[in-house]
Structure 1
């Protein structure tokens, strides 16, 4: 009788242990037929016992009609990888910051979320909203750590700790002008002569006048909340709100006081009064096809990407220098929220996004033969009769979702696009402040007050709605009354300390 009881207890205990966990063997590929094992290599979790969890990926963008279908395909694939399901949670760009900030402030459960230096990354780090990632990366994303360029891995660190994982893409930036090719060809414009912002008034402006006079319904120069001053890339951003580093003087300065910046503001004001700029420039969020010229950050292949998205062919040209700054390497990242119950599983997922070609492209482009068709092994197109505008799954967010070098190429894109990216990175001039991050903790209240002032003035000045000299004068008076001098002094102190330690 004792032997029978013992045997029964062993059986019960064995069954109990089997039910409690799932053994994850990531060496077995369960990609659809036709996918190679190389595309589904393990994420470093072989042999671990993992309970099933659902983790949410929150990012700015429009919800897709076939989002649930793609989620189901991703989750079926992840089951034998990390035994997790993904809940895709896109939030419209216009509402993203407000909603995610509110969720973090109220302690709502978040898992992974998009962040960037221009999207309050450092502010949220100071609020302790994100999980420190150094140990998580070492344990659950060793392959990602190997493949990231050192600048990408070091740039976002705060006090030697990483709080978000950057997208593996270009590590440099240039300002760019983008034109509709059909209109450039129609009027035989020579856009190659536009090399710097000094060429805008004598060369670009006459083109805008031709478009205004001859192309009704076309915006000569389209602004979507940014405007012309973005071309003043002589300075390096230092944190958010105000105060830029001028490498020519070694000082933190008000960018608005610099002659190059004022020249752009005056030109924007002139163009607005001439009717070259769209009337909704302050509130517009995205580019539109019925434009002649617009500003965007430049990188190789950007014109082809935007041509697909807008449905019209664009030509892009870089303006000014190619630079690598901390802002560039922190321009697209995914953080893990402090409220996440599964930070380890989040990092396992990010490791897969960086190393698993099938998963990366499934998230970015959807399901083969449903949302895209393969033209070549690494080149895809929309199915017959489908465009970017009619596709049921085309988030166009490849630059957000980790390793871009795994992405398929669209038929419109150069097949050597990723080689062009590498050459672009190598040609960049490195900022003296690369790796610097501003600790805003001692001036948080001043930054908040000055940000409110900036919201009142910056966009109106940038798109030429506000008279620049009077507008800048009022802006500077208001920010100085709200503690900007204290912010400038603190930024200067930290920059001087950083540069002294770097020598």
Structure 2
């Protein structure tokens, strides 16, 4: 989408609103002859035929809205069955249907960005996020279409009012234009941590069968290795989890806090500190905690916490945890209370599944970002207005919301007599999920209380709320273009050393860390740090801090 086309599109919508005439979107009067020209036209018939529920928006042309989602596409047939029913509803309401394009987990970091920047004009709705899906970077690179307030009010009115009521449009703006819609009306905790078995932790001698600090995991893993035949303490797919361990240890044993949105490659490298929140640095370069982390990972490797070829393994530790052949898995708090705990109670009765979250011992955990889930419109979308209309229904209309999130009632889920979400007899989350992975517009107002979820969910969330800090930089926009070459060079060095350090494969980790640090400095560490600090100083000044 060229800039000129974007300006033309936005001006057309604004002009139509000013003159208060009926709007006609999606190619002008329903014609597909010029799909990128979305200038509005006035309907003179006085009839609402072909319009969306009498609004005057022309929906006479049937459109296929393609949404990019993350995850492995289900193969159980449930997704296709759900979409068939959802698309009947979408066709009736706005004469559109939804198609899902998956970026699968194998090499997803690379493939996601390639997909967005490929110029593919078949994409419309994009699942994005400012923390893990590079929303700001892709905004700066022109992947998303700017969304005027008039456009949002017209084509996604319920969403606009909800986000506006929360005061959250500002956290979605770049150069004073809105580029995505936050998933800001949905409660979730996305902080990471380790899932483990409380029964085995108790056998290992941990008080109350509880891991209360990072180092407790050593005793837990060692006990499993020595006492549970056929079980790998943590059968981690190291091929896809190469950077998290060192960062997890640093988070749990220092006051460093990740500066979201400026990863070096796939690594959360840049940070601030709790006692110095406006100074940018990196614990990988400027703190000794990483030495202790690497030494511990070497110890874990020697214990046999993971398989010897961990860096080439890409299996599923979660399914192994359910099967009793792995003693651990790691992911979000929400994954724990909505999946791990209830599934383990069924699949491994008496396992007393628990979670230790990174930063638990020093209360170094952030509250979730409202843009951890977000929706954008592709800059190359042929019919962005209809895409917004579909999104508005998925987010706010009960029938469509239940289809995309839960599936078909009676087959994929049931409603209990007391109004809770439940599942048919024999339903298995591991094999029977619909798997639409709609992570960009969930809504607490329409969420069903899940009878499958762990009963302690609310208490866990309350406990996290009591200790977690507010992330203070949602409006911080970093100039990535100025440091792209240096960041890429730093990322290359990190990819050479971090996987080996994280899984204890170096004989002398301190020597390798020092070697890595010198290479990172040579790659432009000080240049990047100075540039990020300049952005931070501007942010601090503009925020009145």
Same fold (TM over 0.5): yes
| Secondary structure class of the residue paired with 2:58 | strand
Of residues 63-72 and 155-164 in structure 1, the stretch that sits farther from structure 2 once superposed is: 155-164
Quick one: distance in 2 between partners of 1:486 and 1:449? Answer: 12
* 1:276 aligned residue: 305
Equivalence map 1:310-349=2 (5 Å): 311-312=347-348, 314-318=353-357, 319=360, 320-321=362-363, 323-324=365-366, 328-349=369-390
Count of residue correspondences: 463
1:302 matched to 2:336? The reply is: yes
Aligned mate of 1:264, from 277, 287, 293: 293
RMSD, matched Cα: 3.3
Equivalence map 1:379-458=2 (5 Å): 379-391=420-432, 393-395=433-435, 397=437, 399-403=439-443, 406-414=446-454, 417=457, 421=461, 424-425=464-465, 428-458=468-498
TM-score by length of 1: 0.81
Asked if the contact 2:204/2:219 (under 8 Å) is kept, the reply is: no
Q: Which digits, 9 at most, give the CA deviation of each residue in 1:314-364, with x for residues without a partner? A: 322442426447x83332222221111111122222222221233222112
Asked if the contact 1:236/1:431 (under 8 Å) is kept, the reply is: no
* 1:55 aligned residue: 65
Aligned mate of 1:293, from 314, 322, 328: 328
* 1:236 aligned residue: 258
Aligned mate of 1:140, from 155, 161, 177: 155
* 1:28 aligned residue: none
Name the CA shift for 1:375/1:464 in 2 (closer, same or farther; >3 Å). farther
| Secondary structure class of the residue paired with 2:431 | coil
Quick one: distance in 1 between partners of 2:438 and 2:445? Answer: 10
Could you list the runs of 5+ residues in structure 1 that have no partner in the other structure? Answer: 1-15, 26-44
Of residues 158-167 and 207-216 in structure 1, the stretch that sits farther from structure 2 once superposed is: 158-167
Equivalence map 1:64-83=2 (5 Å): 64=74, 65-66=76-77, 67-83=79-95
TM-score by length of 2: 0.75
Asked if the contact 1:272/1:464 (under 8 Å) is kept, the reply is: yes
Shift of 1:130: 0.9
1:253 matched to 2:281? The reply is: yes
Aligned mate of 1:215, from 215, 228, 234: 228
Shift of 1:252: 1.4
| Secondary structure class of the residue paired with 1:57 | strand
**Structure (1 or 2) with the greater strand fraction:** 1
Equivalence map 1:74-223=2 (5 Å): 74-109=86-121, 110-116=123-129, 117-135=131-149, 136-148=151-163, 150=166, 153-168=169-184, 169-170=186-187, 174-184=191-201, 189-190=206-207, 194-197=211-214, 200=215, 203-223=216-236
Could you list the runs of 5+ residues in structure 2 that have no partner in the other structure? Answer: 1-43
Shift of 1:497: 1.4
Quick one: distance in 2 between partners of 1:418 and 1:193? Answer: 19
| Secondary structure class of the residue paired with 2:542 | helix
Shift of 1:378: 4.0
Shift of 1:18: 11
